[in-house]
Amino acid sequence: MPVVNSWNEWDTLREVVVGSATGACFEPTEPGNRPQVRGPGDLPFPTGPKSDEAVHRADEQLEGLAAVLAGQGVTVRRPEPYDFSRSLRTPGFEVENQYCAVCPRDVMITLGNEILEATMSRRARYFEYEPYRKLVYGYWEADQRVGWTVAPKPTMADSMYRQDFWEWPLEERHARMHDSEFCVTQDEVVFDAADMSRFGRDILVQESMTTNRAGIRWLKRTLEPKGFRVHPVHFPLDYFPSHIDCTFVPLRPGLILTNPDRPIRDAERRMFTENDWKLVDAPEPVLTNDDMPPYCQSSKWLSMNVLSVSPDTVICEEQEKPLQDLMYSLGFEVLTVPFRDVFEYGGSLHCATWDIRRDGTREDYFP
Ligand code: ABU
């Protein structure tokens, strides 16, 4: 098997990258992101490096995940240290600091025997591929069957964003989001890797705040000649869509964990129902939106951001008992790890990993 080989989200995992909080900073305010402190009051969102304590707590939980994966016989790799506190100045923009390497899933994706680096959509994440480059070179040098594609970098200049997006009144937001108009314009190719979900020959791409239609066109034109089929998907009740893996999570052939607050567009559901796939709603998360960590910009649905170790084994967050019960009832073996201290970095177990090698090959699940 090539050293890079992963065609879907569920086949038996052999090698994975687990993110790291070391060096992490608060995400800065920029045209594509307006982070807010959760809870009462209108506290300013902090800037610069996260506290040593917050980094230590998250790193402990990431290491716990790495240990569980190693215990399952999975080879675990980690990103290189990177100084995220450095400011950036490019011809298109300036930003005071960068973000973190907690969520490799957001920027890196394995599509079969090829590694793809996403454009990313936010300035503070422009160079987020860098902590993974040494690993990528290693795989690319080790096996000539390994492909490596880097998506075109957008300017991330002011003109790439709708600056007024964040001030749109709710009514306007609802009206415009039905045309999938968010903070990023349609002029440049923009996508985060975490808006994609892999089903063998078929790849779903969510149109979102972090992936625009030009990004989806680029993915189609790049991947379809290589034998993939790229399907844009939409979840019209998600008013701030970003990353598909808290919304529509395939668990094994024929089974998808779905978000009851974010049903897929009717026409897009048919691809699954007409091929006898079962869509099962995730239970209400234990952690409510009000209980999420104050600096976390993600939703309570991080609960369903599970990582599949194989078609019959899944890793869930330790406190999400209703989800674990659902998984048992669906016939899964369930492994658990504590992970809530990672949430403020924007992801849970799927986000914080990037699978390099799984068993299996490219199957056609939707003939
Ligand atoms: N990075 C995943 C966050 C998705 C969500 O908040 O639902």
Q: Is residue 341 part of a domain?
A: yes
pLDDT at 267 over 80: yes
More confident residue, 324 or 173: 324
Q: What is the pLDDT of residue 171?
A: 83
Q: Is residue 80 part of a domain?
A: yes
Query: Number of structural domains, the chain?
Result: 1
Q: Mean pLDDT in the chain?
A: 97
Q: What is the pLDDT of residue 180?
A: 81
Q: Is residue 304 part of a domain?
A: yes
Least confident of 166-175, 270-279, 314-323, 325-334: 166-175
* Ligand 1 in reach of 285 Cβ (< 6 A): no
pLDDT at 174 over 80: no
Distance 344 CA to ligand 1 centre (A): 11
Average pLDDT over residues 350-363: 98
* Ligand 1 in reach of 301 Cβ (< 6 A): yes
Q: Is residue 363 part of a domain?
A: no
Complex-level ipTM = 0.95
Q: Show which residues are catalytic.
A: 192, 243, 351
Cβ atoms of 132 and 17 within 8 Å: the answer is: yes
Distance 300 CA to ligand 1 centre (A): 8
Q: Is residue 270 part of a domain?
A: yes
Distance 104 CA to ligand 1 centre (A): 14
* Ligand 1 in reach of 300 Cβ (< 6 A): no
What does the alpha-carbon distance between residue 85 and residue 96 come to, in Å, rounded to a whole number? Answer: 8
Q: What is the pLDDT of residue 339?
A: 98
Q: Is residue 366 part of a domain?
A: no
- Return contacts of 115-118, CB within 8 angstroms, 24+ apart: 115/4, 115/139, 115/140, 115/146, 115/147, 115/148, 115/149, 116/149, 116/150, 116/151, 116/193, 117/149, 117/150, 117/151, 117/193, 118/151, 118/191, 118/192, 118/193
Pocket probe mutation, ligand 1, options 103, 246, 287, max atoms within 8 Å of Cβ: 246
Average pLDDT over residues 101-111: 98
Q: Is residue 7 part of a domain?
A: no
* Ligand 1 in reach of 131 Cβ (< 6 A): no
Q: Is residue 178 part of a domain?
A: yes
CATH of the domain at 94: 3.75.10.10
Q: What is the pLDDT of residue 276?
A: 98
Average pLDDT over residues 159-168: 91
* Ligand 1 in reach of 121 Cβ (< 6 A): no
Pocket probe mutation, ligand 1, options 302, 344, 353, max atoms within 8 Å of Cβ: 302
Q: The domain containing residue 108 runs over which residues?
A: 13-358
* Ligand 1 in reach of 241 Cβ (< 6 A): no
Sheet (strand 333-337) strand order: 307-310, 313-317, 333-337
Q: What is the pLDDT of residue 239?
A: 86
